[in-house]
Amino acid sequence: MQTMDIDKDTYANKPRKKDYIGVTFSANFQWWKRPSGVAAVCLGLLCVLLLAGIIGLSVYYNRIIGHYYSAERFQTSSLNNLTKERDQLKTSYNTLTKERDELQTRYNTLTKERDQLQTRYNTLTKESDQLQNRYNNLTKERDQLQTRYNTLTKGRDQLQTRYNNLTKERDPLQNSYNTLTKERDQLQTSYNNQTKERDQLQTRYNTLTKEKDQLRTSSNTLTKERDQLQTSSNTLTKERDQLQTSYHTLTKEKDQLQTSYNTLTKERDQLQTSYHTLTKEKDQLQTSYNTLTKERDQLQTGYNTLTKERDHLKEELNKQSSGWQKFESSWYYLSTEKKSWTESRQDCLKRGAHLVIINSKKEQEFIHEWSGCLDIYLGFHDTNTEGVWEWINDGALGQSSAPGTTYWRDGEPNDADQGEDCAQLSKKSLQIYCLRPEEQSTMVVSKAWTLHQHFQGFPKASDFHLREETLPQPRDGQVLLEAVFLSVDPYMRPYSQTMMKEGDVMIGSQVAKVIQSYNPSFPVGCHVVSDCGWRSHWVCDGAELTPVLPDWPQDIPLSLALGAIGMPGLTALYGLEEVCEIKKGETLLVNAAAGAVGSVVGQIAKIKGCRVVGCAGTDTKVSYLKQLGFDQVFNYKTVTSLEESLREAAPHGYDCYFENVGGKFSSVVMPQMREYGRIAVCGSISMYNDTTPQTGILSTPQTGKLSTPQTGILSTPQTGLLSTPQTGPYVHTYMIFKQLRMEGFLCARWKHKHQQSLRRLMAWMTEHITGTGPTTSLRGPHLVITATVSGMPDPVKTGTRTHT
C-alpha cells in the first residue's frame, strides 16, 4: 500500500484510471490553500509591515536624537526638516491607515469568500465521501472482476496452451486421418464386395438351414417313432413276460382248479342228491307249515275277537259298575253333584265325555226316565253368538252335531233372566228351556309382570311391575291356563326394546297346565307350551298352544319343555345340523356352553362323534360340562389368554363354531377357524346389555336397536394372512382365505320340523335316563322358576338355570 499526496487538484480522492489499480489513496488537506488561509496570510504580512514601519521609525528617531546631541548646532536648521519629515510620516501614516482599512475591507471580503468556500468545501466533502463509497464499491467490483479476469486469463492461457498442443497433435492426426480415410474407402469397397458375397452366402445358408430343419424334423419324427416303437417293444416285452408268468401261474391254478373242480363236481353230485331229498322234505314241511299257519291265524282271529269281546264286556262292566248307562251306542253318566252348567261341562270333559247331546225323541225320553225325572243340563247353548243355539260339538266321543230339531218348551228360548245361554231338560215336561250357565262361577284373577320401563343396561327389579288382571270366562274352543314354569331368556333383553312398549306384559314362554277347557284338543290337566308371557293365568284358544309331547315320561322334568326338549334344544339341533352341517370327526367350538342352548349343542355334537370344546364363565360350569362329556373346557374369564387357550384346546383349529356370545370373543376365534369352516351365528349375548356406543361392530341391525356397536380388534393371525393389525372385527379376510361360511339363524325357520325334532331330543334324553343310549346321551339344564297361582317369582333374582 502506498500513500500519496494529491497534486494541485484540491478535491482529489478521485480514483485515477487503471494506473491506480491496487493502490489506496489518502488525501491530506493543506490549510494555506484554502481562501481563509490566504486571508490570514495577508493579514500576517500586513502586521509584519506595520511592525517593520514602527521599528524603522524608532530607528529613525534614535538617529535623530543622536544627531540632535551631536549636532545641537544644527538643531534649529533641521527643525524644519523634521517638521517636513513628520508631515511626510503623517502622510504615510494616513496612507498606511487607508491601506489598513482597505486591507480590513478586503479581509472581510475574503472572510466571506472563505465561508462560502467552506460551505462549498463541506458540500464537496460529502460528495467526495459518496464518491469514495461508490469508489470503494466499484473497487470491490473491480477486484472481483479482476479476480475473474485473472481466472479467465489463466483459463484462457491454459486453453491456449492446450490449443497449441492440440494444434501440434492435430497435424499428425490429420495426416493419419487422411491415411485412414483412404484406407476406409478401400475397406468400404472391399466391405461392399464382402457384403455381396455374404448375402449370397446367407441365401445359400438359409437354403441349407431349411434343408437342415426339414431333415431335423424328419429325424425327430423318426426318433419319436423309434422311441415309441422302443417303448412299445419294451411294454410288449414286459407284457409278454407278465403273460408268460401269468400263463404259468394260470396253468398251475387251472390244474389246481381242475383238481378242485373234479372234487367239487363229486361233492355237487352228492349235494344234488341230498338237495333233492331235502327239497322233498322241505315241501312236505312247507305244506304242513301252511296248514299250521292257517290254523294258527284262524285261532288268532278267534282269540282277538274273543279278547275284544272280553275287553268290551269288561269295559261295559266297569262302566256300569261306575254308574254309566248304555243306551243304543252311547253311554250316559248321571252326576248328582250340584254344579253350574259351566262346571258340569268341565266335569264332563274331565271324564272324557261331554254334556248330553240329544239325537232323537227316543233318546230324550230315555234320559228323562233313566235320570229319575231330574233336571238335566244339555250340551246346548248360545254362548258363542247370542241367539244362535248350537249343540256343543266337542267330538270327544266321535259324535256328530245334534240334529236341527229341538224340543223347546213353548216360548223358549226367551232369555227371561238376562244371560240365559245354556239349556236344560225339564224334569217335569220333558221339554227344554234355557237358563244362566254361570250361577256359581268365579272369575279368575291373573298376576302378570309388566315392563315398567325399558331396560338401560342390565335389567333391574324396578324395571318390572306386578299387576293383576281379571280374565274373561273361556268360551267355546278356549282354555284357561295356569303357569307351571316360566322362562327367562336372553332374547328378552333385545326384543323388549323393539317389540314392547312400557306397560306391556313381559314376553316369554311358559309351561302351563290346562285348568278349564272348551277345546277337546287340550283337555283339562294336560300341559302345553304357551307364549303368553310372564303371567300366572291366561285364557286363549288352542291355535297359539304347543302341546307338551303327549307321552312325556314321568321321570323327565316338565321344565325341560322350555330347555333341552324345547326351543333351546331345537335351536341347538338346527344350528348343528342345518347350519353347520356338522360331520363325524370334526372339531366344534361352542361358547356360553353351560347355557340352555350351549349344553345341548355340545352333547349332540358328542353323540354325532365330534370333538367338542366349550367355554363357560365359572369353574362350576366347567366341571358340569366335563361331566356332560365335553372334550376340552375352560373358564374364559380366568384364562390368561383366550387366544392361547383356544389354540391349546384345538391346535389344528375348528371346523365348526356355534356362536352364542359375539363381540370380542368371536374376533379371537375367527383366525383359528379351519378351511371350509362353518359358523352358526345363534346369538350375541355379550352385546345385549351394552349402553355406550362402541366402535367397530360389523354393522347394526336394520332397526338399529337390537345391539350397540362394539370395539373389536382382530388379532394378527398366525397364518400371516394379514400383515397389519386392523381395528374392528373385519372378518372378510378370514372368510375369504379360509373359505368360511357364516350364517345367522332363528330357530323358527324349521318350525315344520319341530314335532319330529322334539321327539328326537326326547329319545336322546330318555336314552340317558334309562341308560340305554350311548355314553353321551342328552342331559339338560332345566328351569327353576316356577309360578304359582298365589305368587309370581322375582324375575331378576330367579333368572338362573340349574342342571339335572
Task: Report the partner that residue 514 touches, choosing among ligand NDP, ligand LGFTCAMA, none (CB closer than 5 to 8 A by kind).
Answer: none
Asked if 408 is part of the footprint of ligand LGFTCAMA (rule: CB under 6 A), the reply reads no
Q: How far is the CB of 448 from ligand LGFTCAMA (least distance, A)?
A: 17
Asked whether 348 and 334 are in contact (CB, 8 A), the reply is no
Q: How far is the CB of 424 from ligand NDP (least distance, A)?
A: 51
Asked if 530 is part of the footprint of ligand LGFTCAMA (rule: CB under 6 A), the reply reads no
Sign, CA dihedral 596-600-602-603, equals positive
Q: How many CA atoms lie within 13 A of 6 on its CB side?
A: 17
DSSP structure class, residue 373: S
Window 607-646: contact mask with ligand NDP (x via CB under 6 A): ---------xxx--x-------------------------
Strand order in 537-541's β-sheet?
537-541, 478-486, 510-517, 527-530, 546-547
Distance CA 657, CA 672 (A): 10
Asked whether 709 and 697 are in contact (CB, 8 A), the reply is yes
Phi, psi of 124 (to 5 degrees): -65, -35
Asked if 571 is part of the footprint of ligand NDP (rule: CB under 6 A), the reply reads yes
Q: How far is the CB of 358 from ligand NDP (least distance, A)?
A: 51
Window 720-759: contact mask with ligand NDP (x via CB under 6 A): -------------------------xxx------------
Helices (H), 542-653: 567-574, 596-607, 619-627, 642-649
Q: How far is the CB of 798 from ligand NDP (least distance, A)?
A: 13
Q: Is 174 helix (H, G, I), strand (E, B) or coil?
A: helix
Asked whether 359 and 339 are in contact (CB, 8 A), the reply is no
Asked if 664 is part of the footprint of ligand NDP (rule: CB under 6 A), the reply reads no
Q: How far apart are the first and last CA of the chain?
A: 121
Asked whether 36 and 112 are in contact (CB, 8 A), the reply is no
Q: How far is the CB of 697 from ligand LGFTCAMA (least distance, A)?
A: 11
Window 723-752: contact mask with ligand LGFTCAMA (x via CB under 6 A): -----------------------xxx----
Give the footprint of ligand NDP on residues 592-611 (CB under 6 A).
Answer: 592, 594-598
Element (H, E) at 517: strand 510-517
Contacts of 178 by beta carbon, 8 Å cutoff, 6+ apart:
none
Nearest to 667, CA basis, from 738, 710, 715, 699: 715
Task: Report the partner that residue 706 touches, choosing among ligand LGFTCAMA, ligand NDP, none (CB closer than 5 to 8 A by kind).
Answer: ligand LGFTCAMA
β-bridge mates for residue 778, sequence order:
none
Task: Report the partner that residue 558 touches, choosing among ligand LGFTCAMA, ligand NDP, none (CB closer than 5 to 8 A by kind).
Answer: none
Task: Report the partner that residue 245 touches, choosing among ligand NDP, ligand LGFTCAMA, none (CB closer than 5 to 8 A by kind).
Answer: none
Give the footprint of ligand LGFTCAMA on residues 561-620 (CB under 6 A).
Answer: 567
Give, in order, the Cα–Cα distances in Å from 237 to each of 229, 241, 243, 408: 12, 6, 10, 112
Element (H, E) at 186: helix 75-321
Asked if 424 is part of the footprint of ligand LGFTCAMA (rule: CB under 6 A), the reply reads no
Asked whether 635 and 609 are in contact (CB, 8 A), the reply is no
Asked if 39 is part of the footprint of ligand NDP (rule: CB under 6 A), the reply reads no
Distance CA 514, CA 526 (A): 6
Question: By Cβ distance, which residue is nearest to ligand NDP?
Answer: 683
Rule CB under 6 A: choose which of 459, 569, 663, 683 binds ligand LGFTCAMA. Answer: 683
For the record, the C-alpha cell of 374 comes out as 231330574
Rule CB under 6 A: choose which of 25, 107, 324, 491 binds ligand NDP. Answer: 491
Rule CB under 6 A: choose which of 334, 706, 722, 763 binds ligand LGFTCAMA. Answer: 706
Rule CB under 6 A: choose which of 383, 517, 707, 777 binds ligand LGFTCAMA. Answer: 707
Sign, CA dihedral 608-609-610-611, equals positive
Asked whether 494 and 479 are in contact (CB, 8 A), the reply is no
* Residue (512 or 596) nearer to ligand NDP, CB: 596
* Residue (359 or 546) nearer to ligand LGFTCAMA, CB: 546
Q: Is 492 helix (H, G, I), strand (E, B) or coil?
A: helix
Task: Report the partner that residue 660 touches, choosing among ligand NDP, ligand LGFTCAMA, none (CB closer than 5 to 8 A by kind).
Answer: ligand NDP
Q: How far is the CB of 710 from ligand NDP (least distance, A)?
A: 11
Window 305-344: contact mask with ligand LGFTCAMA (x via CB under 6 A): ----------------------------------------
β-bridge mates for residue 744, sequence order:
681
Ramachandran region, residue 529 (left: φ > 0; alpha: ψ -120 to 50; beta: rest): beta
Contacts of 573 by beta carbon, 8 Å cutoff, 6+ apart:
600, 604, 757, 760, 761
Asked whether 657 and 589 are in contact (CB, 8 A), the reply is yes
Task: Report the partner that residue 557 touches, choosing among ligand LGFTCAMA, ligand NDP, none (CB closer than 5 to 8 A by kind).
Answer: none
For the record, the C-alpha cell of 481 comes out as 291356563
Q: Is 565 helix (H, G, I), strand (E, B) or coil?
A: coil
CA angle at 138 for the pair 137 and 140, rounded to the nearest 5°: 65
Asked if 704 is part of the footprint of ligand LGFTCAMA (rule: CB under 6 A), the reply reads no
Asked whether 801 and 563 are in contact (CB, 8 A), the reply is yes
Distance CA 355, CA 367 (A): 12
Task: Report the partner that residue 495 touches, choosing among ligand NDP, ligand LGFTCAMA, none (CB closer than 5 to 8 A by kind).
Answer: ligand LGFTCAMA
Residue 789 is which amino acid?
V
Asked if 509 is part of the footprint of ligand NDP (rule: CB under 6 A), the reply reads no
Task: Report the partner that residue 707 touches, choosing among ligand LGFTCAMA, ligand NDP, none (CB closer than 5 to 8 A by kind).
Answer: ligand LGFTCAMA
Contacts of 181 by beta carbon, 8 Å cutoff, 6+ apart:
none
Asked if 494 is part of the footprint of ligand LGFTCAMA (rule: CB under 6 A), the reply reads yes
Q: How many residues bind ligand NDP (CB under 6 A)?
A: 26
Rule CB under 6 A: choose which of 490, 523, 547, 728 binds ligand NDP. Answer: 490
Say how many C-beta atoms besides its own lie within 10 A of residue 672's C-beta: 24
Task: Report the partner that residue 617 touches, choosing among ligand NDP, ligand LGFTCAMA, none (CB closer than 5 to 8 A by kind).
Answer: ligand NDP
Rule CB under 6 A: choose which of 25, 324, 333, 491 binds ligand LGFTCAMA. Answer: 491
Asked whether 544 and 530 are in contact (CB, 8 A), the reply is yes
Q: How far is the CB of 667 from ligand LGFTCAMA (least distance, A)?
A: 17
Distance CA 415, CA 401 (A): 23
Asked if 370 is part of the footprint of ligand NDP (rule: CB under 6 A), the reply reads no
Phi, psi of 449 (to 5 degrees): -90, 125
Give the footprint of ligand LGFTCAMA on residues 60-119 (CB under 6 A).
Answer: none
Contacts of 428 by beta carbon, 8 Å cutoff, 6+ apart:
373
Task: Report the partner that residue 745 touches, choosing among ligand NDP, ligand LGFTCAMA, none (CB closer than 5 to 8 A by kind).
Answer: ligand NDP
β-bridge mates for residue 782, sequence order:
802
Window 175-214: contact mask with ligand NDP (x via CB under 6 A): ----------------------------------------
Asked if 587 is part of the footprint of ligand NDP (rule: CB under 6 A), the reply reads no
Task: Report the partner that residue 618 touches, choosing among ligand LGFTCAMA, ligand NDP, none (CB closer than 5 to 8 A by kind).
Answer: ligand NDP
Q: How far is the CB of 578 from ligand LGFTCAMA (least distance, A)?
A: 13
Residues forming contacts to ligand NDP in the complex (CB under 6 A) are 489-491, 568, 571, 592, 594-598, 616-618, 621, 660-661, 682-686, 745-747, 801
List residues near ligand LGFTCAMA by CB under 6 A.
490-491, 494-495, 507, 567, 683-684, 706-707, 746-748
